[in-house]
Chains A and B, each alone.
Chain A
């Protein structure tokens, strides 16, 4: 058994939400630079260049790269031998969000009730997903999820007969419908299988994987490559002004499902794909 103080969780979440908003992850920066090299359309290069410039200004000057500093989605992996002392874990996470968004000059973008729409003024609550794992470590990943791209995400309960083609078509159709709205170049997170609730979580988790890593299953790794190629043949381009680089990467996660179903979810992220993690 190992104990972790709740205040430690708060201080780490506070640091992570601020860093996620100021510093673009290295894998995303590398993908942007590679895209710029591989896109010979002048307008695309110009926009990619400005996006890279923007990320550099954000990290040099410690300011948010995007004004939509997101709703916080936290993925917690808690070892079954861990005990949290001096507070409830979710309160500790939300306190970290509260402090980070205030002291880090981040925008408060959360409304307490989706219909009466009054801002909670501290960007809480976060959406928290827990997973119990073996061992005595606690890993917390926070994502600052912007809604320009979240709003363009979709879910479908396909029929088994729709098969692989049905999944491919749904992914392409989602990117096509989104067009310029989610700030392309985008990252496309796809979930296949599971249940209605579980498939969207798979899609969100897919967005958390580094852009230079492929699915460990070679079939899905190939599907990721094929879908990226197909998406980048649509011609939407950076900001939707036309060009090759509509997406930087497609990440797919899958899970066993029911004999009667083929759920598929597509969660879109903008080029400011922001997440940071810590292991305590």
Chain B
């Protein structure tokens, strides 16, 4: 199935999505990679306020290339998500509802996805020039010193992604492979 989604997400918005569905996301998302996640979680552990509102938010794991003239952001494909596994559970507990990256997630993250009814999406790894077309505006909102790894608030229109882990914990990386190996046609 194909779905159009708007950020911020509620549990209700995401409950019907199934692993393998294609989605087109419109609205604001935040960009963050390992270094920014580390700082966010340090603030959480110190009971300090975060520089972004994570409630209902969708975080895109990306470190873009510098923008050329006329671009909001340079090439911006997903980075590998498992590096954020140490930090995602704390953010999910604070209300984070969507994560966009690529590759496997650990059991602790999947458990929290199910507990909070969140979703893990994948964008096509390496399709950075194509994905960049759906990013309309970008501004740095925290950790400018991190350069490409700074947290940016980006506005996306019909940002293409695929549901990998749905709110029930179904995992496309397992299901998709089984379906192919069993030879069933989608």
Q: Which residues of A contact B (CB under 8 A)?
A: 41-43, 47, 50-51, 53-54, 57-58, 61, 63-69, 105-109, 117, 119, 121, 148, 151, 179-183, 235-237, 239-244, 270-272
5 contacts between A and B (CB under 8 A): A66-B126, A67-B75, A67-B76, A67-B77, A239-B102
User: At the interface, yes or no: B169 with Cβ under 8 Å from chain A?
Assistant: no
Q: Within the complex, which residue of B74, B103, B148 is in contact with A240, where a contact is CB–CB below 8 Å?
A: B103
**Closest-CB distance, B79 to chain A (whole angstroms):** 7
Flag if B126 contacts A65 (CB, 8 Å). Answer: yes
User: At the interface, yes or no: B98 with Cβ under 8 Å from chain A?
Assistant: no
Question: By CB atoms of chain A within 10 A, which of B65, B124, B132, B147 has the most?
Answer: B65
Flag if B103 contacts A179 (CB, 8 Å). Answer: yes
CB interface residues, B 100-153, toward A, < 8 Å: 102-104, 122, 124-130, 132-133, 146-148
Question: Which A residues lie within 8 Å of B178 (CB)?
Answer: 235, 242
Question: Which A residues lie within 8 Å of B20 (CB)?
Answer: 241
Q: Within the complex, which residue of B64, B102, B185 is in contact with A107, where a contact is CB–CB below 8 Å?
A: B64
Known: A54-B126, A65-B128, A243-B180. A105 touches B64 (CB 8 A): no
Rounded to whole angstroms, the CA-CA distance of A240 and B179 in the bound complex is: 12
Question: By CB atoms of chain B within 10 A, which of A58, A107, A182, A244 has the most?
Answer: A107
**Closest-CB distance, A237 to chain B (whole angstroms):** 6
**Closest-CB distance, B124 to chain A (whole angstroms):** 6
**Closest-CB distance, A185 to chain B (whole angstroms):** 10
Flag if A181 contacts B102 (CB, 8 Å). Answer: yes
Rounded to whole angstroms, the CA-CA distance of A107 and B135 in the bound complex is: 18
Known: A66-B75, A67-B63, A107-B65. A239 touches B122 (CB 8 A): yes
Rounded to whole angstroms, the CA-CA distance of A271 and B179 in the bound complex is: 23
Rounded to whole angstroms, the CA-CA distance of A179 and B103 in the bound complex is: 8
- Closest 9 pairs (CB-CB, A-B): A242-B176, A183-B125, A242-B180, A181-B103, A54-B130, A54-B127, A235-B181, A57-B129, A241-B176
Digitize B153-186: 1 where CB-to-A-CB distance is under 8 Å, 0 elsewhere.
0000000001000000000110111111100011
Flag if A61 contacts B129 (CB, 8 Å). Answer: yes
Rounded to whole angstroms, the CA-CA distance of A243 and B175 in the bound complex is: 11
Rounded to whole angstroms, the CA-CA distance of A64 and B175 in the bound complex is: 32
Rounded to whole angstroms, the CA-CA distance of A42 and B129 in the bound complex is: 23
Flag if A66 contacts B130 (CB, 8 Å). Answer: no
Flag if B180 contacts A105 (CB, 8 Å). Answer: no
